[in-house]
Structure 1
Amino acid sequence: MSRPKLLETHGCQGGAHAGYVNAGWDVTGVDIDKRHVRYYPGRLIIADAATYIREHGHEYDAIHTSPPCQWYTRGNAKGRAAGNSKWSRSIPPIREALESTGRPYVIENVADAAWDMRDPVALCGCMFGLSAIDTDGIRIHLKRERLFETNWHLRPPRACDHSGIEWWAGAYGGARRDKYEAKFVRKGGYVPPNKDVVKALLGVEHDMTWNGLFECLPPAYTNWIGRQLLAHVGERAA
């Protein structure tokens, strides 16, 4: 039997792709940056996301989008307040394009974008037991909260709980690479200095650049979402 078709816009280097594929979807990616073609582990169309959704979104059974998060992040707060940010508010125009298709959709973004999302569900590495052995032999656990808005009912695997874990790590630019300074001085913000460790922490198997990993959505998240979305699409068809 043929797999249902999922459109993934803002595909970047394909972190979300593997999770949806493993959940049972036939995934087509869209991204504006042709440099990502080299790393994306499937078909990647170079196009503007909102335009492609409006013109072709109805050809797919469901759509996942990850609009740029930079406008929403705390690091952009000054530029946003001054009205001179090089980034723009990305979620509303993407939502408008998604709603024009009538298809089930997922909008993913960072925690700082919660105010611009409709009843988002949070997923974090702690919910999936994502961890890796660091270069010093210490096991580190992924702390990476992301929000998901859907026009169907999405449930998390459990509540976010970071208690009982000694060492947490993430994957984002601008963080310190010293584990002890991050924990005891900065109280967070550690990113392993070894790319293979970061890939293992995120659960990524294919090659990516550092920037690709920093923007990566762990496949475990989209596998969880993809299985529920598959059931939802099946119920609609029935």
Structure 2
Amino acid sequence: MTQTALIPRARLRVLAAFCGVGGDTAVYMAAGCHVTGVDQTPQPRYIGDVFHQGDAIEYIRSHGHEYDLIHAGPPCQFDCTLTAGTNAAKRAGYPDLLEPTREALKATGRAYVIEQPPGRASKRMRIDVTLCGEMFGLGVIRHRNFELGGWTAVPPVHRPHRGRVAGMRHGKWYEGPYFAVYGEGGGKGTITQWQQAMGIHWTEVRKEIAEAIPPAYGRWLATAFLSPSTLEVAA
């Protein structure tokens, strides 16, 4: 995919809900946006303009209307593969954040993005765009689905993968052009390899890298949202 250059416009205000370390924040800022992040846990390496520690959904309800665009990636444990099948009993320990997040976003009347990995959550959301690391030449596959509210975008073509994910499987090492950026298990690459694969260089904490989306995804979303036609729809 040929990446369209970001076009800085008026300093739009973006809210990054469940922001983590700020994988999406970096490129919204590069596009000239003022970005506020909110997360339940401390994020000392968050790179946005402002950070609020607190409940993201409550913050959206109270302040979401103050922003031009809200990017929300609620934690997915309730719907992910780690709480499916034989691990289904673990699901009860995680809250269902998808529906409350969507309700809060819609109530603001503002344009929004909901981001989730493939899984049960994808069956409960409208998938307007799916992004993959291969679209951007990254060293991760890392599929992510996005629901767009109050604006539209033409999704990029999903390129064929070049091989498998490198790592240890049942005692055997497999080579591949991608790294598995999640978990603490062995055979998943070094921190430096994770940073390069994801395009995240401002943190060396594995958990923070693993919970982020590649900045290239945020770049694509920011570019799409900041196009003249999109701004007319979102106005």
User: TM-score, normalized by length of structure 1?
Assistant: 0.82
Match of 2:51 among 44, 47, 50: 44
1:53 to 56, 60, 63: 60
Q: Which of structures 1 and 2 has the larger relative contact order (alpha carbons within 8 angstroms, sep 6+)?
A: 1
Asked if the contact 1:24/1:226 (under 8 Å) is kept, the reply is: no
**Equivalent residue for 1:116?**
124
2:216 to 209, 220, 224: 220
Distance of 1:176 and 1:120 partners within structure 2: 35
Structure 1 residue 45: deviation in Å? 0.5
Q: Which amino acid aligns with 2:217?
A: Y
Query: Given that residues 127 and 145 in structure 2 are in contact (C-alpha distance below 8 angstroms), is that contact kept between their aligned partners in structure 1?
Result: no
Q: Does 1:142 align with 2:140?
A: yes
Task: Give the gaps of 5 or more residues in structure 1.
Answer: 131-140, 178-190
Percent of aligned pairs sharing the same letter: 38
2:154 corresponding residue in structure 1: 155
Task: Write the distance in 2 (CA, Å) between the matches of 1:54 and 1:11.
Answer: 16
Q: What per-residue deviation string (whole Å, max 9, x for no partner) do you get for residues 65-92 of structure 1? A: 0000111111111587447621122110
Change in Cα spacing, 1:58 to 1:123, as seen in structure 2 (3 Å) is: same
Q: CA RMSD in A?
A: 2.1
Give 3-state SS (helix, strand or coil) of 2:83's partner. Answer: helix
Q: Larger % of helix: which?
A: 1
CA distance in 2 between counterparts of 1:77 and 1:164 reads: 26
Kept in 1, the 8 Å contact 2:83–2:91? The answer is no
Report matched runs for 1:177-196 at 5 Å.
Answer: 177=187, 191-192=188-189, 194-196=190-192
Distance 1:44 1:67 in 2: 17
Amino acid at match of 1:73: C
Q: What residue identity is the alignment partner of 1:171?
A: V
SS at match of 1:205: coil
Aligned residues, how many? 212
Check conservation: 1:32, 1:47, Cα contact below 8 A. Answer: yes
**Cα distance, 1:126–1:108 mapped onto 2, change above 3 Å:** same
Deviates more, 1:151-160 or 1:104-113: 151-160
Q: CA deviation at 1:175?
A: 4.5
1:128 to 97, 115, 136: 136
What does residue 170 of structure 2 align with? none
Give the 3 Å change call, closer, same or farther, for CA 31–208 of structure 1 in structure 2. Answer: farther
Distance (Å, rounded) in 2 between the aligned partners of 1:199 and 1:149: 27
Segments of 5+ residues of structure 2 without an aligned counterpart are 1-8, 165-175
Q: 3-state DSSP class of the match of 1:50? A: helix
